[in-house]
Amino acid sequence: MIVNSLSLCYHNKLILAPMVRVGTLPMRLLALDYGADIVYCEELIDLKMLQCKRVVNEVLSTVDFVAPDDRVVFRTCEREQNRVVFQMGTSDAERALAVARLVENDVAGIDVNMGCPKEYSTKGGMGAALLSDPDKIEKILSTLVKGTHRPVTCKIRILPSLEDTLNLVKRIERTGISAIAVHGRNREERPQHPVSCEVIRAIAETLSIPVIANGGSHDHIQQHLDIEDFRQATAASSVMVARAAMWNPSIFLKDGLRPLEEVMQKYIRYAVQYDNHYTNTKYCLCQMLREQLESPQGRLLHAAQSSQEICEAFGLGAFYEETIRELDARRADLLAKTPEGVEEPAEDTSGIIKMAIRFDRRAYPPQITPKMCLLEWCRREKLPQPVYETVQRPVDRMFCSVVTVAEQKYQSTLWDKSKKLAEQTAAIVCLRSQGLPEGRLGEESPSLNKRKREAPDQDPGGPRVQEPALPGEKCKKPFVTLGTSEDNLLEGC
Ligand SMILES: Cc1cc2nc3c(=O)[nH]c(=O)nc-3n(C[C@H](O)[C@H](O)[C@H](O)COP(=O)(O)O)c2cc1C
């Protein structure tokens, strides 16, 4: 048996609970700042993780686990390396071990979620479904304990009977896990039901491993001192806090809660520094604002469609600009040092029409994108569909797309954060260099308005400002040879 030599101690700890969407890097760092000892990531599903590649992001100084569609599924950094517990959703021991091995060098502990009562989890045999399959629990946990050098834990809910609960936790303890988190409600109970401190206490008195009490937000934990009261009421080693920390992560601060405005500003700073997706940032801020969502600030937040707009809503516009400048400078530095970074994205660039352009979603109505305009135009002109070829450069994982229309290639000289954005940008270069309407606000586009909207683009955290278009290279095979009129074009878009 492999000894978990790099052990995280679970005694007497304040812990940020795993929370889907909430427990991303900015929240975890903020919780650590305020005094949490251990922070759990949101539950991540084994199958999804197994599709991910581990990528060192030198611009952000993070380690990213990136899905094939280039979404960052899990982002972590050195600051939390000894404190972050990776929680997975799994129903299979081999898959669980493969995930543990994928992340173990970047995290402090591995946890299995056995408490989620939601159907999407239980119907795959994960979460609370595991509670009725102790053989599977045993297999998953013992495989993990033997196979990873990080401490393994699990998070459970209680069973309807105390006897069954105690039998289950004793069996779990025998797998060799390092600690167990107990949410003191059964799988049928909702957050408004009272948490069973007595059952957690009975578990803590039965087991030798540390028991982490959970479920106390709202009824028990409203301020920092309540955390210790909850620990005593449950006789647990440690306390794990979810909702109270989601509402205000300064709950971990010994000196008492900090004003929400200050907390949210700190949160936003981390979100920008670590390039958190704006929709996730917005979600977490909405959880903090709660009943103030109708306030002027709440309304600004609600309307925000990018990280920049979120920053502006909280008076952090200058901070945003400065941070983006720093990140751009770091990126440029890295590119200068990396030979492949300065290479052109396409093998043969000689005949490509280029402009320094980025796609700014805000400049377009929700239903319209440049790609749609280009496609529509090609259809009307009986041209083959535009063909997009996208490359990603290794140094910063940015994308550049080349679109071919009527045998002419078009690309932007600026790189984008996602394949989708890069394609939109290439489409703009094509449309703009040919003087075609591109669907921007203010342009007439009757027929496209009726079309179904494309899947939303991954927000880059800001194509900050629309870059001024530079004149394109001389067009070698311009569309105009195909005979178009502005009227026809407008009809098409
Ligand atoms: C927004 C949200 C997301 C959650 N996501 C997870 C999760 O990913 N994994 C998990 O084990 N529990 C999850 N939970 C449950 C919490 O970790 C915790 O067990 C529950 O909220 C009770 O703790 P509390 O009273 O401190 O809120 C989530 C809870 C909330 C409110």
432 CB within 6 A, ligand 1: no
Q: Kindly name the residue from 116, 154, 311, 400 that is annotated as catalytic.
A: 116
Give 440-478 as a DSSP string.
-TTS--HHHHTSPPPPPPPP-S---SPPPPPPPPPPSS-
Q: Which helix (H) or strand (E) holds 8?
A: none
108 CA from centroid of ligand 1 (Å): 20
For the CA atoms of 440, 443, 444, 449, what is the dihedral angle to 10 degrees?
A: 10
CA of 242 to the centre of ligand 1 (A): 5
CB of 63 within 6 A of ligand 1: the answer is no
What ligand 1 atom has the least distance to the C-alpha of 242?
26
| Ligand 1 centroid to residue 117 C-alpha, Å | 11
d(CA 24, CA 29): 9
Mutational test site, ligand 1, from 20, 156, 234, max ligand atoms within 8 Å of CB? 20
**Residue whose CA is closest, atom 25 of ligand 1?**
215
pLDDT at 292: 86
Closest C-alpha to ligand 1, atom 1:
19
Is the CB–ligand 1 distance for residue 214 below 6 Å? yes
Name which of 158, 162, 180 is nearest 236 in CA terms.
Answer: 180
Pairing relationship of beta strands 14-16 and 38-40 according to DSSP bridges: parallel
Q: Please tell me the residue having the least CA distance from ligand 1 atom 16.
A: 242
User: Which residue's alpha carbon is at the smallest distance from atom 14 of ligand 1?
Assistant: 19
DSSP for 29-90, written as a single string? HHHHHHT-SEEEPPPEEHHHHHT-EEEEETTTTEEEEE-TTS-EEEEEEGGGTTTEEEEEE-
Instruction: For the chain, list the domains and their CATH numbers.
Output: 13-258 (3.20.20.70), 260-336 (no CATH), 352-434 (3.30.160.20)
pLDDT at residue number 339: 61
Closest ligand 1 atom number to CA of residue 185: 22
Task: Indicate if ligand 1 lies below 6 Å from the C-beta of 216.
Answer: yes
Tokens representing 117 are 């009562």
130 lines ligand 1 (CB under 6 A): no
Atom from ligand 1 closest to the CA of residue 22: 1
Among 59, 62, 61, 58, smallest CA distance to 72 is for 62
What integer pLDDT is reported at residue 134 of this predicted model? Answer: 96
Q: What is the pLDDT of residue 329?
A: 92
Protein residue closest via CA to atom 23 of ligand 1: 215
Report the side by side order of strands in the sheet with 387-392.
Answer: 353-355, 408-412, 399-405, 387-392
Phi and psi of 91, rounded to 5°? -135, 20
Q: How far is the CA of 272 from the centre of ligand 1 (A)?
A: 25
Pocket test for ligand 1, best of 183, 246, 290 (most atoms within 8 A of CB): 183
Choose the residue to mutate in 14, 16, 19, 199 for probing ligand 1, maximizing ligand atoms within 8 Å of C-beta.
19
Residue whose CA is at the smallest distance from ligand 1 atom 22: 215
pLDDT in tens, 183-234: 999 999 999 899 999 999 999 999 999 999 999 998 999 999 999 999 999 9
Residue 364 CB contacts under 8 Å (≥ 6 apart), including other chains: 370, 439, 440, 441
19 and 65 in contact (C-beta within 8 Å)?
no
* 412's tokens: 């932007």
Contacts (Cβ under 8 Å, ≥6 apart) of 261? none
What are the beta bridge partners of residue 181?
Answer: 155, 212
Residue 260 CA: distances (Å) to CA of 16, 267, 271: 18, 10, 16
Tokens matching residue 323: 């941070």
- Give the residue whose CA is nearest to atom 15 of ligand 1: 19
C-beta 461 within 6 A of ligand 1: no
- 118 close to 162: Cβ distance less than 8 angstroms: no
Tokens found for residue 364: 């377009």
Q: DSSP letters of 38-54?
A: EEEPPPEEHHHHHT-EE
Q: How far is the C-alpha of 212 from the C-alpha of 214, rounded, in Å?
A: 6
Q: What are phi and psi of 157, to 5 degrees?
A: -105, 165
Nearest ligand 1 atom to alpha carbon 243: 27
Write out pLDDT tens, residues 63-76: 999 999 889 999 99
Active site residue 400: no
In the sheet with 53-57, reading across from the earlier edge strand, the strands are 53-57, 62-66, 72-77
Radius of gyration of the chain from its Cα atoms, rounded to whole angstroms: 26
219 lines ligand 1 (CB under 6 A): no
Mention every residue, 6+ apart, whose C-beta is less than 8 A from residue 200.
158, 182, 184, 211, 213, 215, 234, 235, 236
In 3D, which of 390, 396, 389, 388 has the Cα closest to residue 340? 396
Q: What is the largest CA-CA distance in the chain?
A: 83
Residue nearest to atom 10 of ligand 1 (CA): 18
In this structure, what is the dihedral angle of CA atoms 321, 326, 328, 333, given to the nearest 10 degrees? Answer: 160
Q: 440: Cβ below 6 Å to ligand 1?
A: no
The DSSP bridge pattern shows strands 408-412 and 399-405 to be antiparallel
Query: Mean pLDDT, consecutive 10-residue segments, the chain of 493 residues?
Result: 63 98 98 98 97 95 94 97 98 97 98 92 91 96 97 98 98 98 95 95 98 95 97 98 98 96 98 97 96 88 94 96 94 79 50 87 86 94 94 82 94 88 94 90 56 35 29 33 28 25
